[in-house]
Amino acid sequence: MRRFYLLAAFVATLLVGCSGADSQSEEHASELIFSSTVITVGAEGGPAEVVFFETSADSGLTIEATTTSEWISNITVEDRIKFDVEANDTPAQRLAVIDVVYGSNVYNLAVQQEGITEETETKIIIPQRKVEVTATGGTFDLFYTVSGGIASVTPEVSASADWITIDSVDATKVVFTVDKNVASAERKASITLSCDDVTAKTTVVQSGSTDDVVLLADTTTPHVGEPVTFTVVYGSEDITSKSGIYDYYTHQEIPNPMTFDEVGERALYAEYEGVRSKVLSVNVISASAPDFPADSDPESYDFKYRMLLIEHTGTECPYCPYMMESLKIVEENPSYNDCFNLAVAHSYNSSDPATSSVAYTVRYYYQKTLKVLTGFPTLTFNYQYPDAAGSNISYIYRHLDTLKKEKQSAAVAVAAKIDGDKIIVSASLKSKEARHYKFNIFLLEDNIYGSQSNAYESWMNIHHNAIRDSYSVLSNSDITGSDWGYISAESTSSKVFEMAIPNTVIRRSELKVLVVIAAQDSQYNNKYEVVNTTMCKLGASVPFEYVD
């Protein structure tokens, strides 16, 4: 009974301490009402809480809770006050005060913790109720005490997950090992100590990994019959021998090294301890594909920028010779001739020997979708630029100056050749930024003779860079091309493409390809805009162009 009277007197003192003149003068101010002002905790300790509510929900006042007692910790305030109480390993009862400040009011909460009972009942006490572990894992100690009738007995210890191994148990501690967590998600498990039908648990919380499982290949563009060797890494650790490599679509494991016997793109991933890598694309190319151009500066990402210009013209267009003359001057101007690649869409008249269905599709895109082509001749710029130029050379220079860039963050290297009745293009896209790209390959033809209306010089009857075909299927509403895919920052993706040579081509020896890469541009509502272009004659190659 003496303990009860002491506690009652103590609480009465606390309640007197939280009232006074300030409280009386603010009788209309918001107050806190607690579910209890005395919190009783067993000797074993653990988490405790008390619920409260404000008499005025919109008071705007903050709530702070503190204590000077060292055996109370981790006080948090949300919709209730929560705190942790250490185990009391003495028979004596103990008291503490939590001060709660709310505006000008101070409330005192009493925490009463029982002492351990001097009985024969066995108890297992684990002071550390939660063990936090980093993703790298390691070996740790868990201390405990056993009290009561069989205090000298060593408990049985078990873990609820196989990523925790119990190494040893003695009279005061458990030594355990936590495996590395390769997943990004946090994981939890428990360690249980048992003896004489009494148990105690602690929770092990392991953080997720910030490293990724990465699948690498010694080449991502092997020829048919060429072996590919794979490596799997996690952080700086080589985990190839502990990992499996699988086909993304069939989920069948493949050997390492792997020799592919068919042309095509293979999607692969690695798996390590249940965690998958990102997909790695391996583009198996035919033995006849041209070699990819060598990179003269592998560490650089400062690429020369060449925008896309499309001249819309036709042999029966009476004003088109003026555009031809203006573009000839621009192409011979050293201040401008390396900032663009030009394709010519002959779509004014169907009798034009340099016309094609692709040229008309390109015309209708700029005429009906972008709505910048309103007559002939017209010069358009890239895919989304909302303006165009006529044959006035000063306007052409003005638009070029607007779009010129000192450097660009992505580029494409190209090699192309004729193989029978098809064209094979080997292209490598190198990007400084992590982006999703689209691409198209325009097939162009030079030296096409077509009598030009109103030509005032003979060279105007010879037409170059005429659009003859396209690798991608284009439409009146979209000419941005096919999906290249996502490319990680500071990386290169290589692919091989084949396209048939159309019957409309006059001279195969005059063919070349114009490769255009595009990415979403916030300036144009995230529509795909030209990032860079590369022109390459058949039988030749063009490496990445860097800023001088």
What's the rounded Cα separation, in Å, for the pair 367 and 378? 10
Give pLDDT, residue 20: 42
Options 3.10.28.10, 3.40.50.280, 2.60.40.10, 3.40.50.2300; CATH for 123-206 is 2.60.40.10
Element (H, E) at 22: helix 21-25
CATH of domain 2-113: 2.60.40.10
Give pLDDT, residue 15: 44
Give pLDDT, residue 6: 37
Q: Do the domains 2-113 and 213-284 sit in the same CATH topology, yes or no? A: yes
Strands 38-41 vs 105-113: parallel, antiparallel or unpaired = parallel
With a threshold of 0.85, does the pTM exceed it?
A: no
- CATH class as words, domain 213-284: mainly beta
pLDDT in tens, 342-351: 999 999 999 9
Give pLDDT, residue 235: 81
**Cα–Cα distances in Å, from 16 out to 10, 11, 98, 514?**
10, 9, 15, 88
- State which residues of the chain have pLDDT below 50: 1-27
Is residue 359 within 8 A of residue 347, CB to CB? The reply is: yes
Q: DSSP readout, 97-150? A: EEEEEETTEEEEEEEEEPPPP-SS--EEE-S--EEEE-TT-EEEEEE-EEESTT
User: Domain residues of the chain, as ranges?
Assistant: 2-113, 123-206, 213-284, 307-542
Fold of 307-542: Immunoglobulin-like (2.60.40)
Give pLDDT, residue 171: 86
Element (H, E) at 378: strand 378-381
Give pLDDT, residue 26: 44
Give pLDDT, residue 215: 93
Strands 156-159 vs 138-143: parallel, antiparallel or unpaired = unpaired
The one-letter amino acid code at 323 reads: M
Give pLDDT, residue 477: 96
Q: Which residue in the block uniquely carries the two structure tokens 């967590």? A: 181
What's the rounded Cα separation, in Å, for the pair 83 and 95? 15
